[in-house]
Structure 1
Amino acid sequence: MAVVQTGNGFRKTGEGGLNVQRTAFTEIPMIDLAGMMSRDAAVRREVGEAVRRACTEVGFFYVCHHGVDPQSLARCYAVSKAFFMLSEAEKCEIHIRNSENHRGYGPLLEENTNPDSQGDLHEAFDLAGDIPQTDPDVLAGKRLYGPNLWPRHPAGFRDAVLECRSALVGLGHTIFRAFALALGLEEDYFQPLVEKPCAHMRILRYPPQKGVINEKQIGIGAHSDYECFTILHQNGESALQVLNAAGTWIEAPPIPGTFVINVGDMMARWTNDLFCSTLHRVINRSGKERYSIPLFFGPNFDTIISPLPSCQDADHPPLYPPVKAGDYVLSRFDETYVYRQPTAETV
């Protein structure tokens, strides 16, 4: 049984091999977020109860009726495909290494989510809130805040990407309200802690993998995400695989009109492992390019992540020491990205 090192320790990855059990997508719960827009508190609590079941039993769920305009997503994908078609030299003008706060372009194999692998087969554009250098938090050296790096081409790239990110951040606030209800907290419990969230968005392009596939070099190796939760939109063929409790890889195919939500390591820590941060990976065997847009939603940089009182008792003592949210994410970036290694060269 193989293991993967995550931010919360070593995790089993199930049996080796690339085969997955093909099950109906209902194996991963579908939650209708329309209830979170209801004026009826009881209806909103029902959504919270469904989220609690999903987060404790699976760690993944789909959401529908989420309120994100599909045209915003379409515009983001259109300009992103044009960006990734640029020459490598032009894309590398904004190489992520040239950013002080982890923004910009990451070429193939720049990232290695599973330390036991040989690099991830995707390229990426990373961004977050476009915060000026004069912002007090930027001046204070909080390195998850700051300006983005933007390419010279294509036209309209910046506006389309920021419009999409804004919509996903809005969805993130709704999900945090549902998380609060799921944990038996006041619905607005997390709101003061996410007024300036470290909401890191990526646009990912996966080339197809053909023929014999090396298990140690796939789209993204087995890993768990760093932040509180991930909002993922999938555009294309099925490639995302989720590890179930029995150690079997289960497909999480794209479903029109939905997002995939999964718990991250930070939320697992915050809930004292009540919510499970589930291992997952990406293998693009479709024969086509695959694109996806994940938003990794975390709280304000200075938020202290320590097991919530409602998630501990005499039989469940705190499993993790307190840690500042921003410092935790930065430590995970340091372990994952080639450019952040001491031997990395300047581009």
Structure 2
Amino acid sequence: MARVPVVDFSAYSLTRSSPDDNSVGELIQSVHDALTSIGFLYLVNHGIPQSVIDNAFTQSRKFFELPKDVKMKYKRPDKSSEGNHGYVECEQEKLNPERPGDLKECFNYGPREAKGKMPDAELPEFAHCAVNFYDQCNRLSNRVLEVMARGLNLEDPYIFVKAHAGIGGPDNESAIRFLYYPPVPENVEVDQIRCGEHSDYGSITLLFQDNQGGLEVKEKDGDFFPATPIDGAVVVNIGDLMQRWTSDKLVSTVHRVALPETEDAKRSPRQSMAYFYHPDNSHIVTCVDGSDKYPPIGSGLYLQQRLNATYKY
């Protein structure tokens, strides 16, 4: 059975001003091997302070524990064309359209849309926490993208990074999803799970898990295996747009969040936080190897198409 590789990022950790020349080559190869095979990896020694991660979990947990009528004041717009920032109630999303609605709640955070739309009255620290966490994820993502480009031996190792230059501005949709999976209700529908089978949309995803587990990754033979949480590790995976961008050299893999099996686990909520890194809306994605395997497509158009298929409004 395949397992998600663990990659030590200390050679290019955020605590460093430049890569370690003695070990960065090994890092580049390890990332390349993981992302061209299974499309997932655990990143350890990445440099995002654990205190920043812990605070993001704490602040988002406080939001999800608010009464529903309060959370609904910060509801995500009904139409994806009107924005993606805000609260998504349980069962509102169907990431696998063949299943019932996902048993999860979300709060999408994007700095472009967040002004005046954060629960400042109820949680005055949440906005600052989200800004800080978003910045750390952005910095780490840029380094991962550079490592990926070097693994592909691209002429410009910053080609992917440059396509995300508008981060935080009106031309970029990169976002954090704070996710909360409540205790499993007694009246679960047939085939209903916490998060349906799907692949991610954009460039890469950084996923931070609590210790509850539930994430499962699909193997080539169709079976799923657990991506068990590792203390201090960030899960990194490839999105569909990056697979297209690299002419299928980097692999976007289907994954899901299954229902827990034990009664104790069913009574326990689960939290995770996903940073979805997308190229600027105006960027035209073309195959970096010049193969024209896929026709060019605007990043913003591609994202809107995927979001419109996700929400069951």
Per the alignment, residue 338 of structure 1 pairs with 312
* Deviation readout 1:56-82 (Å, 9 max, x if unpaired): 111100000100011111111111111
Give secondary structure in 2 for the equivalent of 1:97: coil
Per the alignment, residue 67 of structure 1 pairs with 47
Give secondary structure in 2 for the equivalent of 1:250: strand
Distance 1:96 1:71, change over 3 A: same
Per the alignment, residue 19 of structure 1 pairs with none
Q: Does 1:117 align with 2:92?
A: no
Unpaired runs of 5+ in structure 2?
Answer: 168-172
1:148 CA displacement? 6.8
Q: Check conservation: 2:104, 2:180, Cα contact below 8 A.
A: yes
Q: Does 1:227 align with 2:202?
A: yes
1:213 CA displacement? 6.0
Q: Does 1:156 align with 2:125?
A: yes
Distance 1:146 1:235, change over 3 A: closer
Give the aligned length.
Answer: 295
* Deviation readout 1:271-316 (Å, 9 max, x if unpaired): 1111111000002412210000000111122111121126x3xxxx
Per the alignment, residue 328 of structure 1 pairs with 302
Distance 2:308 2:117 in 1: 19
Q: Check conservation: 1:104, 1:148, Cα contact below 8 A.
A: no
Q: Check conservation: 2:198, 2:256, Cα contact below 8 A.
A: yes
* Deviation readout 1:91-144 (Å, 9 max, x if unpaired): 00111026832100000011111111111110010011x23xxxxxxxxxxxxx
Q: Check conservation: 1:203, 1:293, Cα contact below 8 A.
A: yes
Per the alignment, residue 157 of structure 2 pairs with 187
Distance 1:157 1:98 in 2: 23
Distance 2:125 2:75 in 1: 20
Per the alignment, residue 58 of structure 1 pairs with 38
Give secondary structure in 2 for the equivalent of 1:96: coil
1:155 CA displacement? 2.5
Give secondary structure in 2 for the equivalent of 1:126: strand
* Deviation readout 1:40-68 (Å, 9 max, x if unpaired): 44632322211111111111000001000
Unpaired runs of 5+ in structure 1?
Answer: 1-22, 132-144, 313-317, 340-347
* Stretch moving more, 233-242 or 194-203: 194-203
Give secondary structure in 2 for the equivalent of 1:121: coil
Give secondary structure in 2 for the equivalent of 1:293: strand
Amino acid at match of 1:203: F
Distance 1:40 1:203, change over 3 A: closer
Per the alignment, residue 202 of structure 1 pairs with 177
Q: Check conservation: 1:208, 1:284, Cα contact below 8 A.
A: no
Distance 1:59 1:93 in 2: 37
Per the alignment, residue 12 of structure 1 pairs with none
Distance 1:253 1:213, change over 3 A: farther
Distance 2:127 2:134 in 1: 11
Q: TM-score, normalised by structure 2?
A: 0.88
Distance 1:216 1:320, change over 3 A: farther
Distance 1:210 1:153, change over 3 A: closer
Q: Check conservation: 1:127, 1:201, Cα contact below 8 A.
A: yes
Amino acid at match of 2:77: R
* Stretch moving more, 147-156 or 193-202: 147-156
* Stretch moving more, 194-203 or 115-124: 194-203
Q: Check conservation: 1:79, 1:160, Cα contact below 8 A.
A: yes
* Deviation readout 1:157-185 (Å, 9 max, x if unpaired): 11112211111111111111111111112
Distance 2:228 2:209 in 1: 8
Per the alignment, residue 170 of structure 2 pairs with none
1:212 CA displacement? 8.9
Per the alignment, residue 254 of structure 2 pairs with 279
Give secondary structure in 1 for the equivalent of 2:253: coil
Distance 1:179 1:245, change over 3 A: same
Q: Check conservation: 1:206, 1:284, Cα contact below 8 A.
A: no
1:324 CA displacement? 0.7
Give secondary structure in 2 for the equivalent of 1:329: helix
Give secondary structure in 2 for the equivalent of 1:91: helix
Distance 1:148 1:281, change over 3 A: farther
Q: Check conservation: 2:77, 2:83, Cα contact below 8 A.
A: no
RMSD in angstroms over aligned alpha carbons? 2.1
* 1:263-342 alignment runs, 5 A limit: 263-285=238-260, 286-287=265-266, 288-309=268-289, 312=291, 318-339=292-313
Q: Check conservation: 1:303, 1:325, Cα contact below 8 A.
A: yes
Q: Check conservation: 2:164, 2:279, Cα contact below 8 A.
A: yes
Distance 1:148 1:262 in 2: 32
Distance 1:66 1:116, change over 3 A: same
Percent of pairs with identical residues: 29
Amino acid at match of 2:10: A
Distance 1:82 1:88 in 2: 12
1:215 CA displacement? 5.7
Q: Does 1:176 align with 2:137?
A: no
